Chains A and B, each alone.
Chain A
Amino acid sequence: MATTSAAPSRRALPFPVALARPAALVERNLRAARHYWLTFVSGFFEPVFYLFAMGVGIGALVGSVEVDGREIPYAVFVAPAMMATSAMNGAVYDSTGNVFYKLKHSKLYRSVLSTPLRPWDIAAGEISWALLRGLIYSAAFLLVAAVAGFVPSWWALLAIPACTLIGLGFAAVGMAATTYMRSWNDMDYVQLAILPMFLFSATFYPLATYPPVLQWVVQATPLYHGVDLVRALTMGDLHAGLLVHVAYLAVFSAFGLWATTRRIGKLLLT
């Protein structure tokens, strides 16, 4: 049944086939998700609950918000922020907890590395999967927000790729951070990074609400750039400044990818 005639030429994958390797890991995750479909579906609801709590509940308390001299309903202001933060949360959730489980408990990556897959393939595969999931959630969220009347512009469709970029950055950096985690208790440190961003990235109220010094701090965080980008798109407020946001997030992502690849190799190929 097993023979010695395995042809090495077929097995040594040529370069274009290289993308097949991360794809194999995506396929693995897709199969696993089929057994955990309820978890998958539940991921969609969290941002929607937030959207209605904030948009409807808090919206009734706030009324309208002034952005760039324009009065807009609070729900319209907060909906893109919820979309951007859920892209961050989903990516972080996938790339920290789930990846930690595979790294430490199931030893999945150890098995994978005894096959032709390399550390880069693992990083690319896991992050692609996080993006794929994020893409589905973002699209569904946008649909719900639009139906609820919180999305005034068609440019909002571009918010989907924008959220994918947010997800890429946070998934890559999150996965790199996970390689430093020693136990589940360290997941709390992930919260320490995520929660302040969630609350203070001009998500729930405009940047102008902050004192000038804090405005600089807020503007330094990656989520701020994500929120501002998505908000501009859903409101149809396009301008060249958005490219700065895109560039920031692109650099953030590249750094995460580089760090993850390095760390996986360092941890598992010793």
Chain B
Amino acid sequence: MSRADKQSPTARPGSPGEVALGGGSAVEDPEREVGPAPRPPGGGWRAVFGYWFAVYKRIWRSTVISSFLAPLLYLAGMGYGLGALIDSGDRTAVPGVPYVAFVATGLVAAQAMMTASAETTYNVFGAIKWLHTYDAMLVTPLRVVDLVRGHLVYVLMRLTLVAGVFVGVALALRAMDSALALVAVPAAVLGGLAFATPIYAFSATIDSEQGFNVLQRFIIMPLFLFSGTFFPLTQLPVGLQVFGWVSPLTHTVALTRALGLGPDSALWLEPWRFAVHVAYLALWAGVGYLLAVRALRRRMVV
């Protein structure tokens, strides 16, 4: 991550905000980040976060459906409904694990991906092209990095909220059954950021919103289906399995499933495996962040 800091021309080494976004420690207390270090003029990322948070406060009701209800419907429909069919037979996804627990621990990661994608596509494109929000921000002392960071901190908040609520409900329903499931929340958030930053870069690059249809249908939807959320990757042909392991979602699912099912399950991971998954996700998030800043700068500073 320190390498990344140096490459980013406007990075401020020592700024905790930088570490929280580009690095890996997913949930930081935002209060702690107010330091005495000299700051450039302007409201910085906090002001940008403030903008998105104000928007969210106005529209949060309509996001309840896609953020909280939809994953629970999937849990009911796939986990319980389909689970009844699957668990009654002689086969199952993972021996000793009820199908609903298998789905719940996968869905939390998939939902993080969906949320990340929803928050960094039309919001970013619209702020650039339709509403000219970014134009308005850039005539103030705010810098391009502030725009990206503020937005990503907002995404971080949304991810925490979405994953937290889902895990809470899953625990209440006994679809997850381990205290470690709470740690699945930061794992899902990290997985979400691994999508949020590259998608942000994509949104800041494209000229037509047609790109989002392609992203949704050729990337997000297949990943949702083929990253081990609903059935183990091992059921796929080897070629597709390789494709599956490139997907950050597969790695997120590995983490959330291990944590959600607990140390006694067959899907628990050795420490080095945890480290590999986390590192892989951090790499996506970090590289994506650099690309996002670069893409937005190219787009806005002309």
Contacts and interface: CB of A to CB of B under 8 A. Distances in A.
Asked if A and B form a direct contact in the complex, defined as CB atoms under 8 angstroms apart, the reply is yes
Interface of A: 36, 38-39, 42-43, 45-46, 49-50, 53, 56-58, 60-63, 65, 184-186, 188-189, 191-192, 195-196, 199-200, 204-205, 209-210
B221 A49 contact: yes
A204 B82 contact: yes
A204 B78 CA distance: 8
Chain A contact surface mostly: helix
Contact of B91 (A39, A63, A204): A63
B65 A205 contact: no
Interface of B: 59, 62-66, 69-70, 73-74, 76-78, 81-82, 84-86, 89-93, 99, 122, 210, 213-214, 217-218, 221-222, 225-226, 230-231, 235-236
Contact of A39 (B82, B213, B231): B213
Nearest to B60: A185
A199 B62 contact: no
Contacts of A56: 235-236
B146 to A, nearest CB: 26
B235 A57 contact: yes
Given A53-B226, A62-B85, A185 B236 contact: no
Contacts, number: 98
Given A57-B230, A199-B76, A36 B210 contact: yes
A62 B86 CA distance: 5
Given A60-B91, A61-B92, A42 B214 contact: yes
B91 A61 contact: yes
A209 B89 CA distance: 13
Chain A to chain B: the 3 pairs with minimum beta-carbon distance, closest first: A199-B77, A185-B62, A53-B225
Contacts of B85: 62, 65, 205, 209
Contacts of B74: 199
Contacts of B76: 199
B217 A45 contact: yes
22 contacts: A38-B210, A38-B213, A49-B225, A53-B231, A57-B230, A57-B235, A60-B91, A60-B231, A61-B92, A62-B86, A62-B91, A63-B90, A185-B63, A188-B66, A191-B70, A196-B73, A199-B76, A199-B81, A204-B82, A205-B81, A209-B84, A209-B85
A195 B86 contact: no
Contacts of B213: 38-39, 42
B278 to A, nearest CB: 26
A199 B84 contact: no
Nearest to A39: B213
A50 B235 contact: no
Contact of B77 (A39, A46, A200): A200
A22 to B, nearest CB: 25
A61 B86 contact: yes
Contacts of B225: 49-50, 53, 57
Nearest to A101: B209
B215 to A, nearest CB: 10
A39 B236 CA distance: 27
Contact of A63 (B89, B214, B218): B89
A200 to B, nearest CB: 6
Contacts of B92: 61
Contacts of B90: 63
B210 A191 contact: no
A163 to B, nearest CB: 19
Nearest to A187: B62
A216 B221 CA distance: 31
